[in-house]
Amino acid sequence: MAEKRVYFFGGGKAEGNAKMKELLGGKGANLAEMTNLGVPVPPGFTIATKVCDEYYKSGGKWPKGLDKEVDANLAKLEKAMSAKLGDPSKPLLVSVRSGAAASMPGMMDTVLNLGLNDAVIEGIISKTGNARFAYDIYRRFIDMFGDVVMRCSHDYFEEVIDTAKKKAGVELDNELNADQLKEVTEQYKAVYKKHVGELFPQDGKVQLQHAINAVFGSWNSERAIKYRQLNKITGLLGTAVNVQAMVFGNMGDDCGTGVCFTRNPSTGTKEFYGEFLMNAQGEDVVAGIRTPMELVKLKKIMPKAYQQLTKLMTRLEKHYKDMQDMEFTIQNEVLYILQTRTGKRTAEAAVKIAVDMVGERLIPKKDAVNRVTPEQLDRLLHPHFDPKAKRSVIAKGLPASPGAAVGQIVFNAEAAEAWKEDGKKVILVRIETSPEDIGGMNAAEGVITARGGMTSHAAVVARGMGKCCVAGVSALNINYAAKKLIIGEKTLKEGDWISLDGTTGEVMEGQLAMVEPTLSGDFGRFMKICDQIRKLGIRTNADTPEDAKRARDFGAEGIGLTRTEHMFFEGERIWSVRQMILAADDYAVMLKKLDAAQNDSEKKEIEKEYAKTKKDFEGSLQQLLPYQRSDFEGIFMAMDGLPVTIRLLDPPLHEFLPQDKENQAEMARRLDVKPEVVKAKVEQLHEFNPMLGHRGCRLTITYPAIARMQARAIIEAALNVQKKGKKVYPEIMIPLVGKVAELKISRDDIIDEINKVFAEKKTKIKYMIGTMIEVPRAAVTADEIAEEAEFFSFGTNDLTQMTCGFSRDDAGKFLGDYIYKGIYSADPFQKLDQTGVGKLVEMGTKLGRKTRKSLKVGICGEHGGEPSSIDFCHRVGMNYVSCSPFRVPIARLAAAQAAVRNA
């Protein structure tokens, strides 16, 4: 027997099936599968992908026997449709479509309505009495065949119809009447003859052969080749060709067409949902000229077809185990399903459908968690713009923190807070933000910055607040003095309205309509399913009791990172901090001198000399202590029963000093020193690379008293809250450790201070001391570090900076080029660089656990809320991820998906 090249489908039986994608292409295999399922798809046949290969190898010839096989299948198709190619009384029309094993949407050619010719048109007219319909499909076919198959540009045909419309005095194609369309058809044939050099073929088989060749040819079109390169599609033989009977919903009142969903794609409700039009084509439903009817109405109009359709809907959803989106056509009361596929749905619907299907025992929980994407969940949690609102985008930046915001422009934090108090909604626009802007950011609806990337200060803080932020809008020119901003030609000033979309990074003029998020009971049920599946713990990064509470409501199982630096800025505290900084160096010198002193009298001498220094430094810390203690009390109260990891002071001290002259003068006044003293201190603390400077535990090494104050505040707070009957699990985290010795020294100091507190209060509490792993050196020596650490928390922001050598404040200048050139597939500050930074994370985890089997390991960088990074954390065997409160549900979902993926 000759080699089989063509596979028939139709009449409830197909020669192929879903598994034969390689041979029949995706579309062909799917059509075969549906046919086998008893779905009434219009019959047809598929020419296998290998034939495309043979076609090319033979220089554009059909392999021997193909013509006969095509003829035989065509005959079978004619029989199935009780029609015949070119038969005016019972004409068979077919579509010819490409379809490779991998999806290449829109890349290859399609020809519809093949089989039309002059005689068939006459037949159709006499049968339907609808000459307008007949000439309309004929002229469309000539255009498409000419353009797609014979390379006679569509522009030539367009010229003709434009002239005809002018002549007829109409604007739209469908305003032309039958006679006018007939005339257009004749002119199209003339255009075809002129440019192709021969008459338009009247023989359906000739049309078919040309169309099949055209589909083969489109496999190696420039754009198809480029698409395969870009999408790394390799190893395919070619495209299959699907020849399928055309069906028409517009051949009379016993015809119709529509789309339907097995569940409501907007709400997820389990109901047959869809719409249809009688005597219409699919494109009419889409075009919106006639208003389609709700699917239920079909029950009355065509009860049999409706019943058949709903049965099929139920059946297909059960088969594919997901909500289906189907296209159907009824031709002369016969129902055809043109397509069924997994239906797109809103975020709300995705959650409801997933939960319902578990309830219906249609899918197991592990499948349900994959029915909602993290992006969908994210959308549920943030306000967004009404999709129908018209957007006038004036600039685009990085989508730094999702959501939508509308407000009036202000240019500084003070204005933001003042306007907010006046009941106004504001958007804070800054070149970049600094810790001093936090109050203003909190007051604003959203934040825009001209500089900075996805992990800039603005982005990180905004995400933490769940506040919309667009960062790095490089087109933005801000003039603080004139209180205006310029984008290209456009100038906006303080008070002008602006809208921003933190999910797309778009900045728009004016006030866009917004939709606020609402969380249904299904959301909670879905999250519970995720919790049952996931292995990773989910914690949050929270610096305030409010954040802690919010995160807890979102399902956080503890705090993985409380930053303490923001606390140093609030209200009066900053003055104590600045007083402390002014005295810090002399204080350190004093400590060294005391250490070197030979006897008590020398010590007394030194203490006398440094009396003021000691008072200024230790006094400032004494002032800060009650503030810190009450900060921690609030957080411990909110997290009753859950662990709280508190990171000791991290940033370099110069971040707490004012950089501009005016504020320096204020500081001098306030602290009663000469302005030069403040200026000199600012200069002295200046760092060339603050990222790699005097911060983190390095501060503890130089100024142990700061860490001691913080440790005391933590433990005193914990004891106070414990006294109120709450359960407190404090975990003290020492940042920026690179070598075990610095951890040991810091830890010993802290333990010493804690023991003092225990002795004073005559009571104890359990606590842990651990470290951030964020310096590469710590990761490669994690076995040593683990000797002094009860837990590790990977600070992947800084670890990425140091491992890749990227300053996240500066990398914006070249990371774009890196992603453009494909060096990184994504910003490594957003998605963990698994092959580089990840290698250190894995090494650190393994080495750490080698020393301390019970070592608790987590992540508290920005990556803790990013799904692909969470998957990595799952694989590495971490105990938990920690992310900003609004990312907690996403992390719960991503952790569940990771558990399923890596099961």
Q: Shortest distance, CB of residue 688 to its own copies, whole angstroms?
A: 4
Helix (H) or strand (E) holding 394: strand 393-396
The closest alpha carbon to 898, from 859, 840, 843, 852, belongs to 859
The residue (of 172 and 230) whose beta carbon lies closer to its own copies is: 230
Query: Closest Cα partner for 94 from 16, 42, 17?
Result: 42
How many helices (H) and strands (E) would you count in the chain? 35, 32
Tell me how crowded residue 902 is: count the other CB atoms within 10 A of its CB. 10
- Residues sharing a CB contact under 8 Å with residue 820, sequence separation 6 or more, in sequence order: none
Q: How far is the C-alpha of 191 from the C-alpha of 426, rounded, in Å?
A: 61
State the nearest-atom distance from the C-beta of 746 to its own copies, in Å.
Answer: 10
Q: Which of 214, 198, 248 is nearest to 94 (CA)?
A: 248
Tokens of 657: 């000093």
Residue closer to its own copies (CB basis): 119 or 701: 701
> Cα separation of 623 and 625, whole Å?
6
Positive or negative, the Cα torsion across 95, 98, 101, 103?
Answer: negative
- Whichever of 353 and 471 has its CB closer to its own copies, that residue is 471
339 CB-near residues (< 8 Å, 6+ apart): 326, 327
Least spacing, CB of residue 600 vs its own copies, in Å: 15
- Between 435 and 690, whose beta carbon lies closer to its own copies? 690
Q: In this complex, which beta carbon is closest to its own copies, that of residue 209 or of residue 434?
A: 434
Concatenated DSSP letters of 104-132: -TTSS-EEEEET--HHHHHHHHHHH--HH
Smallest gap from residue 801 Cβ to its own copies (A): 6
Task: Tell me the closest approach of the beta carbon of residue 705 to its own copies, in angstroms.
Answer: 14
Spell out the residues 6+ positions from residue 859 whose beta carbon is closer than 8 angstroms to its own: 560, 793, 794, 796, 841, 869, 873, 878, 880, 881, 882
Of 437, 404, 438, 440, nearest to 419 by C-alpha is 440
**Closest residue by Cα to residue 161 from 173, 178, 146:** 173
The residue (of 489 and 595) whose beta carbon lies closer to its own copies is 595
Between CA 703 and CA 694 the distance in angstroms is 11
- Smallest gap from residue 603 Cβ to its own copies (A): 17
CB of 774 to its own copies, least distance (A): 8
- In this structure, are residues 230 and 199 in contact, taking their beta carbons and an 8 Å threshold? no
Of the pair 720, 803, the CB lying nearest its own copies is at: 803
Nearer of residues 675 and 836 to its own copies, judged by Cβ: 836
- Measured from the CB atom, the residue of 244 and 801 that comes closer to its own copies is 801
Comparing CB distances to its own copies, the nearer of 669 and 813 is 813
Specify the residue for token string 């508190």: 646
Q: Just list the catalytic residues.
A: 457, 860
- One-letter amino acid for residue 440 of the chain: G
b/e code 395-434 from CB counts within 10 Å (16+ = b) = bbbbbbbbbbbbbbbbbbbebbbebbeeebbbbbbbeebe
Query: Nearest distance from residue 845's CB to its own copies, in Å?
Result: 14
Nearer to its own copies, 552 or 654 (CB): 654
Binding stretches for its own copies (CB under 8 A): 588, 592, 687-694, 698, 701-702, 736, 738-739, 741-742, 745, 774-777, 780-781, 784, 798, 801-807, 809-811, 813-814, 817-818, 820-824, 833, 835-837, 839-840, 843
Nearest-approach distance from CB 596 to its own copies, in angstroms: 10
CB of 390 to its own copies, least distance (A): 27
User: Which residue do the tokens 């030609």 mark?
Assistant: 489
CB closer to its own copies, 575 vs 818: 818
Task: Say how far apart CA 414 and CA 67 lie, in whole Å.
Answer: 80
Q: Take residue 121 and report the two structure tokens written for it.
A: 């048109």
- Alpha-carbon distance of 617 to 621, in angstroms, equals 7
Assign 3-state DSSP to the chain and report helix, strand, coil percentages, each to 5.
50, 15, 35
Asked whether 51 and 28 are in contact (CB, 8 A), the reply is no
Q: Please, where are the H alpha helices in 422-520?
A: 438-443, 457-465
Q: How far is the CB of 201 from its own copies (least distance, A)?
A: 33
Q: How far is the CB of 765 from its own copies (least distance, A)?
A: 29
Q: Round to whole Å and give the CA distance between 581 and 667.
A: 12
CB neighbourhood size of 876 (10 A): 18
**Using alpha carbons only, how large is the chain's radius of gyration in Å?**
35
